[in-house]
Structure 1
């Protein structure tokens, strides 16, 4: 599974916020913002801080995208 934060960036655009505003409002490190920008995994703590700052739910900022090698068998 891959993680997509496209929804997060759309919310920032809608709220006329820049990444540095998100970093300050959510009290997260710049390294975490960079990971989000690159579509890398971040901790649940970071996601919760972002959600609190933006007053939204995790599903509003993160989307899981199945990869080519992901099987549907559990």
Structure 2
């Protein structure tokens, strides 16, 4: 099982927000956004900052998927 942030990228597209703007809105570093792009592990504080900036719930930006489902 692993985390997938595909929902975050879809939400950004729907809202017309790019990654740089997300960094500015949330105060999250570009490095952390890059980790999310690779479905990497990030601190829950990062997720909270993103959710606060986008006015959404954590379930709106991430989900847990099985390794088989991701392939």
Aligned-residue offset at 1:66? 2.1
Partner of 2:60: 60
Query: What's the TM-score, normalizing by structure 1?
Result: 0.87
Does 2:33 match 1:23? no
Partner of 1:42: 42
Unpaired runs of 5+ residues, structure 2, are none
Q: Specify which structure has the higher proportion of helix.
A: 2
Aligned length: 68
RMSD over equivalenced CA pairs, Å = 0.9
Moved over 3 A (4+): none
Distance 1:17 1:10 in 2: 10
Partner of 2:6: 6
Query: What's the TM-score, normalizing by structure 2?
Result: 0.91
Partner of 1:72: none
**In terms of Rg, which structure is larger?**
1
Distance 1:41 1:53 in 2: 20
